[in-house]
C-alpha cells in the first residue's frame, strides 16, 4: 500500500469520530486540522472563536497555524477540514510532506444524530496547503 494512502487513511480515521462528536452536540462544525507526526501521533488543531467570524477567515487562520505547527513538530502529513453547508458535507484536504494531496468531500447525513457518511465520500485531486507553503 502506498505510504501516502496509509497516512491519509490514518488522518480520516482520526477526523471522522471528532466531527461526529461535534455533530452529535450541534449542527455547526468548526474548522478542524490534524497533523500526523513522524512517530504516528496525531495532533488536533481547532479553530476556536468567540465571534461570528467569516468561515474563510477562520480557515485561513487555521491554515497558517497548521503551517507553523507542521514546521515546528516535523509533521509528515496534515488534514484541514471545514464545513460545506451548501452541499451538506465537510471538506477535508489531505497533504503529506512528499507532495501528495487529495480532497475528500464527506456528506453529513441524519441518523440518530447528524453524522458523516463515509460510504458517500467523494475523492478528487487536492492542492498543497501546508507543506507546499514552506520548505520542510
Which tens digits make up the pLDDT trace of 30-42? 999 999 999 999 9
Q: What is the pLDDT of residues 42-61, one digit of tens each?
A: 999 887 665 666 888 899 99
**pLDDT by residue (tens digit) across 14-25?**
999 999 999 999
* Helix%, strand%, coil% for the chain, nearest 5: 40, 35, 30
Residue 125 C-alpha cell reads as: 485531486
Task: Check whether 109 has a pLDDT greater than 70.
Answer: yes
Proportion of the chain above pLDDT 70, given as a percent: 91
For 45-81, give one letter per residue: b (16+ CB within 10 A) or e: bebeeeeeeeeeebbeebbeebbebbeeeebbbbbbb
Cα separation of 104 and 89, whole Å? 10
pTM recorded for the entire structure: 0.89
User: Rg for the chain (alpha carbons), in Å?
Assistant: 14
Residue 124, number of CB atoms within 10 A of its CB: 8
Confidence label for 1 from pLDDT (cuts 50, 70 and 90): very low
Match 480532497 to its residue by C-alpha cell: 103
Amino acid at each position: 500500500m502506498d505510504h501516502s494512502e496509509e497516512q491519509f487513511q490514518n488522518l480520516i480515521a482520526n477526523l471522522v469520530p471528532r466531527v461526529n462528536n461535534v455533530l452529535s452536540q450541534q449542527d455547526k462544525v468548526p474548522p478542524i486540522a490534524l497533523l500526523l507526526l513522524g512517530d504516528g501521533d496525531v495532533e488536533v488543531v481547532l479553530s476556536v472563536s468567540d465571534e461570528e467570524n467569516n468561515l474563510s477567515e477562520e480557515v485561513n487562520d487555521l491554515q497558517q497555524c497548521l503551517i507553523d505547527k507542521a514546521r515546528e513538530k516535523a509533521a509528515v502529513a496534515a488534514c484541514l477540514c471545514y464545513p460545506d453547508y451548501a452541499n451538506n458535507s465537510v471538506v477535508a484536504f489531505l497533504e503529506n510532506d512528499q507532495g501528495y494531496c487529495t480532497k475528500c468531500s464527506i456528506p453529513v447525513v441524519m441518523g440518530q444524530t447528524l453524522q458523516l457518511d463515509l460510504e458517500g465520500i467523494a475523492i478528487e485531486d487536492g492542492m498543497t496547503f501546508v507543506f507546499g507553503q514552506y520548505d520542510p
